């Protein structure tokens, strides 16, 4: 029972910071303004990690590599911690186990990134019906625009209803299913 509780707490704490670091990375990649309540929160909660890390890990090609690598490192530590809490050992090949943890952590970053996009699409769709002039509307638009535009070019409005968010959500769910299958194959190696 205590192992389950501790696993849950480790998972919640690490996921919180990984999501925020990935949001910071994606905001910069997608050129989302940080001058909004969400951006302020992300900067306030991750700045203490990212600012010192940027001294060692400079941005490259306009990408915030410090945020991305910190998210990956935290997820890697979480994978190892959860593995240890469950009473497993690394076995006779610790190098291979660490490599598998690194791959699993990378796959989790992809999963979390897809979750961020799913969240943004769902909230944007709901707010477009409930409160289309909300202050976070432009932020959500900047996050989702790059992914919705190609679908909108192919799928016309049907009775003034934009179905591109629904199509994107279906595609994201398919990607999550593929990722689950791939993670299952990697996890079998343990």
pTM (2 d.p.): 0.92
In this prediction, residue 190 carries a pLDDT of 61
Per-residue pLDDT tens listing for the chain (190 residues): 888 999 999 999 999 999 999 999 999 999 999 999 999 999 999 999 999 999 999 999 889 999 999 999 999 999 999 988 887 777 777 778 888 899 999 999 999 999 999 999 999 999 988 998 988 999 999 999 999 999 999 998 888 889 999 999 999 999 999 999 999 887 776 6
> In terms of Cα–Cα distance, which of 114, 83, 61 is closest to 6?
83
In this prediction, residue 62 carries a pLDDT of 85
User: Greatest CA separation found in the chain?
Assistant: 62
User: Which tokens in the block code for residue 119?
Assistant: 């969240």
Query: Which residues are 60's β-sheet partners?
Result: 63
* Domain locations along the chain: 2-188
In this prediction, residue 168 carries a pLDDT of 98
In this prediction, residue 160 carries a pLDDT of 86
| DSSP for residue 70 | H
Query: Which phi and psi (to 5°) does residue 18 adopt?
Result: -65, -45
Contact in structure between 162 and 152 (CB atoms under 8 Å) = yes
Q: How far is CA 78 from CA 13, 114, 181, 190, in A?
A: 9, 19, 21, 16
In this prediction, residue 88 carries a pLDDT of 73
Query: Which residues are 158's β-sheet partners?
Result: 161
How many Å apart are CA 167 and CA 28, to the nearest integer? 25
How many CB atoms sit inside 10 A of residue 9's CB?
11
């Amino acid at each position: 029972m205590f192992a389950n509780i501790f696993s849950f707490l480790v998972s919640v704490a690490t996921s919180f910071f990984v999501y925020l670091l990935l949001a910071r990375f994606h905001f910069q990649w997608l050129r989302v303004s940080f001058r909004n309540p969400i951006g302020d929160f992300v900067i306030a909660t991750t700045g203490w990690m990212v600012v010192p890390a940027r001294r060692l890990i400079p941005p490259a090609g306009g990408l915030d590599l410090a945020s991305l690598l910190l998210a990956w490192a935290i997820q890697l530590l979480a994978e190892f911690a959860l593995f240890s809490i469950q009473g497993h050992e690394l076995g006779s090949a610790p190098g291979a186990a660490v490599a598998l943890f690194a791959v699993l952590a990378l796959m989790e970053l992809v999963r979390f990134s897809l979750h961020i996009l799913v969240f943004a699409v769902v909230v944007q769709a709901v707010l477009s019906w409930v409160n289309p002039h909300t202050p976070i509307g432009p932020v959500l638009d900047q996050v989702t625009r790059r992914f919705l535009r190609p679908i909108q070019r192919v799928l016309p409005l049907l009775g003034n209803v934009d179905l591109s968010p629904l199509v994107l959500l279906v595609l994201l769910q398919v990607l999550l299913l593929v990722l689950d299958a791939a993670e299952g194959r990697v996890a079998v190696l343990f």
